[in-house]
C-alpha cells in the first residue's frame, strides 16, 4: 500500500516538475503596461505630427514597434497557467489603462486623417490598425485563456472595448 502511495506521489511530483506552466500574473501585467507605453509613445508621435511626411512616417514606424510589443507579450504570456481569481485582480487596472490609451491614439489618428490623406499614408495607417487589431485579438484570446472561467468574460469585455476603439479607426481610414 505504501509503495502505491509513494509511486503516485513520485509520479505527481515528476509531472509537476516537468510542466513548464507557472501561475504568475507579472508577465501579463508587465506586458499590458509595456503595450500601454507603446500606445503612449504612438500618441506622442501623433501629437508631434505637423503634416510633414517625416512625421507621418514616424507614426507608421511607431505603430510597427507597437505590433512588436504585442507579439512579445503573446510569447511571454503563452506559457502561463490559468490564474487564480485573486491573481486575476492584478490584471484589471493595466487592462483598463490600455483601453484608455488606445482610445486616445485612435482619436488623435482620426483627427489627422486629412493630413495622412495628403501624404498618401492613409492606407498605411489603415494597414497598421488592421495589424494591431489582429495581433491584439490573438493576445486577448491568450490572456482570456489564462483567466479563471468565472472571470474570462471580464477579459473578453476589455477585448471588446479595444476592438471597438480600433474599429472606430478602421471606419475612418477605410
DSSP output for the chain = -HHHHHHHHHHHHHHHHH---B--SHHHHHHHHHHHHHHHHHHHHHHT--S-HHHHHHHHHHHHHHHHHHHHHHHHHTTBPPPPHHHHHHHHHHHHHHHHHHHHHHHHHHHTHHHHHHHT-HHHHHHHHHHHHHHHHHHHHHHHHTS-TTTHHHHHHHHHHHHHHHHHHHHH--
Answer whether residue 167 is part of any domain.
yes
Answer whether residue 9 is part of any domain.
no
Q: Which parts of the chain register pLDDT below 50?
A: 1-19
Answer whether residue 5 is part of any domain.
no
Cβ-based neighbours of 115, under 8 Å, separated by 6 or more: 49, 51, 56
Q: Tell me, what's the pLDDT at 153? A: 86
Answer whether residue 33 is part of any domain.
yes
Q: Tell me, what's the pLDDT at 21? A: 65
Answer whether residue 2 is part of any domain.
no
Answer whether residue 148 is part of any domain.
yes
108-117 pLDDT, tens digit each: 999 999 999 9
Q: Tell me, what's the pLDDT at 20? A: 55
Answer whether residue 163 is part of any domain.
yes
Answer whether residue 15 is part of any domain.
no
Number of domains comprising the chain: 1
Q: What is the pTM of this model?
A: 0.84
Q: Tell me, what's the pLDDT at 167? A: 97
Domain of residue 38, residue span: 22-172
* HEC-encoded secondary structure of 87-135: HHHHHHHHHHHHHHHHHHHHHHHHHCHHHHHHHCCHHHHHHHHHHHHHH
Q: Tell me, what's the pLDDT at 15? A: 40
Amino acid at each position: 500500500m505504501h509503495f502505491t502511495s509513494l509511486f503516485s506521489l513520485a509520479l505527481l511530483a515528476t509531472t509537476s516538475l516537468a510542466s513548464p506552466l507557472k501561475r504568475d500574473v507579472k508577465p501579463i501585467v508587465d506586458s499590458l503596461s509595456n503595450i500601454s507605453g507603446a500606445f503612449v509613445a504612438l500618441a506622442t508621435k501623433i501629437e508631434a505630427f505637423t503634416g510633414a511626411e517625416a512625421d507621418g512616417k514616424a507614426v507608421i514606424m511607431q505603430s510597427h514597434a507597437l505590433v512588436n510589443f504585442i507579439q512579445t507579450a503573446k510569447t511571454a504570456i503563452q506559457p502561463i497557467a490559468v490564474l487564480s481569481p485573486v491573481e486575476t485582480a492584478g490584471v484589471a487596472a493595466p487592462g483598463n489603462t490600455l483601453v484608455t490609451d488606445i482610445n486616445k491614439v485612435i482619436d488623435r489618428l482620426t483627427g489627422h486623417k486629412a493630413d495622412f490623406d495628403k501624404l498618401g499614408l492613409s492606407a498605411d495607417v489603415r494597414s497598421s490598425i488592421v495589424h494591431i487589431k489582429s495581433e491584439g485579438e490573438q493576445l486577448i484570446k491568450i490572456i482570456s485563456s489564462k483567466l479563471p472561467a468565472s472571470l474570462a468574460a471580464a477579459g473578453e469585455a476589455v477585448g471588446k472595448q479595444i476592438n471597438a476603439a480600433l474599429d472606430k479607426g478602421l471606419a475612418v481610414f477605410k
